[in-house]
Amino acid sequence: MTLINPTQAIEEYIGEQFVEWLVNFIPQEVASWPFMAQISHVHPTPAKLKKFMVQRFLAAEAWFGRKSGDPGFLRFALANLSESDDPLAESSLEILEKKRQDELAGHRLENDVIQTATREQWLRFLKALGLSLEEIERAQAKEMTRNYIADLSDVYSNSEWQMALGTMFAQELAESEEFRIYVSALKQNTSLTDHDLEVFTQTHQPQAKFSTHLLDKLVFDPESKALVWEGVRKQLDIRHDFLTALGKYLAA
């Protein structure tokens, strides 16, 4: 599919066509960011790489919420959807709630922290980088990470539900491309194994395909497409600013 601009896509594509355009547009947009070229070419010291990845881990924790009382992005989105009586919103709510239950199946609480399979993968990766569990647990989110979490929490909580779904869809696709580039860079700069890097290769692969089913029936009328696109744009803008600021940890 030719990557036309967003205005043309909203005007010309509907349903699966529009979703397919997003599936192609979002990774290419992420790959074009200067930060992605930076991380692909720099050779950071182990200390700098640790600082960068700890902040990236803390940002990732915001999906489910780190503590048992922290709703996380997904719960914010579910609460948003639950306020609409639109049948499509209700259908999306049911699917996402089932997805959340499946992803949290088998999780446990340890020191009031939600322990999921994804968190365990992150911990394994960070330990392989040379961080101790004590260092990981006492790590604090820096300003750029706090802003990222606050900005996305606001979008998921307070936007139109179609926009929230667009933001979630873009998060999965953008993160998949981001992680793909991380794996390449980490293999060049470290001796980490494929097992150590599983958090970047296994966590999100099925999710984008899953989310296309939530959008296929939604993006037919211009208003819904515009709202979905606004959510996509918000995700990309917030993520771009976060990674650009976070990139200072990798600078020479």
pLDDT for res 27: 94
Instruction: Give residue limits of the domains in the chain.
Output: 16-33+45-248
Domain 16-33+45-248 has CATH 3.40.50.720: no
Of 152, 172, 16, 170, nearest in space to 80 by CA: 152
Q: What is the mean pLDDT of the chain?
A: 86
pLDDT in the model for residue 99: 73
Query: CA 19 to CA 219: how far, in whole Å?
Result: 8
pLDDT of 56: 96
pLDDT tens digits for 102-161?
Answer: 776 666 656 656 677 788 899 999 999 999 999 998 999 999 999 999 999 999 999 999
Confidence (pLDDT) at 108? 62
The span from the CA of 217 to the CA of 229, in Å, is 15
Helix, strand, coil percent content, the chain, rounded in steps of 5:
75, 5, 25
Residues 4-23 pLDDT 10s: 899 999 999 998 999 999 99
d(Cα 174, Cα 184) in Å, to the nearest integer?
16
* pLDDT tops 90 at residue 90: no
Residue 197 and residue 179 in contact, taking contact as beta carbons nearer than 8 Å: no
Q: 31 or 89: which carries more pLDDT confidence?
A: 31
Per-residue model confidence (pLDDT) at position 203:
57
Give per-residue pLDDT as tens, 45-63. Answer: 899 999 999 999 999 988 8
CB 239 within 8 A of CB 38: no
Distance CA 124, CA 144 (A): 24
- Supply the pTM of this predicted model: 0.89
What does the longest C-alpha to C-alpha distance in the chain come to? Answer: 53
The 10s digit of each residue's pLDDT in 200-250 is 997 554 444 556 777 877 888 889 999 999 999 999 999 999 999 999 888
The amino acid sitting at 72 is G
Q: Which residue has the higher pLDDT, 75 or 176?
A: 176
pLDDT for 206 equals: 42
Within 8 A by CB and 6+ apart from 232, the residues are 22, 26, 166, 167, 169, 170
Q: Is the pLDDT of residue 162 over 60?
A: yes
